Structures are given as structure tokens and as C-alpha cells.
Amino acid sequence: MKIDESMLKHVAEVARLKLTEAEIKKFLPELKEVLDTFSKISEVDTKNTTSSYQPVPLKNALREDKPKQCLTQEQALSLTTHKKEGYFKGPKAV
């Protein structure tokens, strides 16, 4: 499996993780070993096999479109320190 330092940094960036140099040094050989082993699944013939995204067959679960009680704005904001004028406050976008 071809995974090098630049690929590792790219994956980390996509996953919103900022790795330290020590983490990169540790993760690189570990991920190589794990992905080498996992890549052996290519040996299995799955030409005419469909995917299973769940282990048991599921039907669409629908409900009547009726309004129900939900969290109040105050409750929804009660677990964050980043709020302003009744809204979540995020980092600067521009």
C-alpha cells in the first residue's frame, strides 16, 4: 500500500486533524502495516455481489408529518459557550 508522509498529511487535513511531527512518525508505519493487511480483501471475488450497508434488511421508516415538541432555542444553546444573540457563534468565515 502506497501511503507516504504527504498522503498522511493530506488525509489528516481532510479529517480536520493537525498532527505533530511525532504523531506523523508514529502513524506512518502503523497505517502502512494496517492498510497492507486490509488490502488483502481484494482477493475476494465480489463480481456479482451486492453491497450490504446494514446487516438486516430494513424498510424506509416513515412517520406522519406532524409537528412535535422539540428543544427550545435556549435548551439548544445551553451546552455551548460560543453563542451570541440566540445563535451559535462560530469562528470567522471570511
**Burial annotation 9-42 (CB, 10 A radius, 16+ → b, else e):** eeeeeeeeeebeeeeeeebbeeeeeeeeeeeeee
Under rule CB under 8 A, residue 71 binds another protein: yes
Q: State which amino acid sits at residue 5.
A: E
Under rule CB under 8 A, residue 75 binds another protein: yes
Query: Which of 5, 25, 87, 89 is the binder for another protein (CB under 8 A)?
Result: 89
In the structure grid, which three cell numbers stand for residue 77, read together? 444553546
Shortest reach from residue 44's CB to another protein, in Å = 5
Shortest reach from residue 85's CB to another protein, in Å = 15
Under rule CB under 8 A, residue 15 binds another protein: yes
